[in-house]
Amino acid sequence: MAKKKGSRELPELTTSSLPDLIFTILFFFMIVTTMREVTLKVKFVVPAGTELEKLEKKSCVSFIYVGPPTDQLRAQMGSGTRIQLNDRYAEPREVMDFVAQERTTMPDPASQVMSMKIDQHTQMGIITDIKEVLRKSWALKINYSATRRGN
């Protein structure tokens, strides 16, 4: 018995499972990744508290950010306290339009919650102005964001 000497051909590489693998990885990253919807233009350090509750329905929460402008925007906006609604600065009187707009995008407008993320050094007058406008626009569920105070 003589062995044939010749070139051996390598079998072709099967790529039939490659699309399944790629879609599995893509699906994993879609599930794990969270996208920031708002670019923060104000910086804030929320106050610390002891009696905190976690929000249950986050789909019905709209955020109002209050604080000084970020370092990049301080030259053009000044160092005073600013209100940010979505991706723009606003005045307290514009909060009513923001509430109405957010209410139209919610699955359950009756359970709308306005979450205020406010810098701990913000003067109470601005917060009072925002609260008055929220009261006029019937946004009566207000949440104040805070961090848990260390014991």
> Tell me, what CATH number does 93's domain have?
3.30.420.270
In a domain, 87, yes or no: yes
Q: Per-residue confidence at 88, pLDDT binned at 50, 70, 90? A: confident
Residue 34 within any structural domain of the chain: no
- b (16+ CB within 10 A) / e for 24-45: eeeeeeeeeeeeeeeeebbebe
Domain of residue 80 covers 58-148
**Residue 33: inside a domain, yes or no?**
no
Q: According to the model, what pLDDT value does residue 43 have? A: 80
5 occurs within a structural domain: no
99 token code pair? 């509430």
Q: Is the pLDDT of residue 34 over 80?
A: no
Q: Assess whether pLDDT exceeds 70 at residue 4.
A: no
User: What value does the mean pLDDT take over residues 57-80?
Assistant: 84
Name residue 125's amino acid: G
Residue 6 binned pLDDT confidence (cut-offs 50, 70, 90): low
Q: Given pLDDT bands bounded at 50, 70 and 90, which one contains residue 24?
A: very high
Percentage of the chain exceeding pLDDT 90: 23
pTM of whole model > 0.75? no
Q: Please give the tally of structural domains in the chain.
A: 1
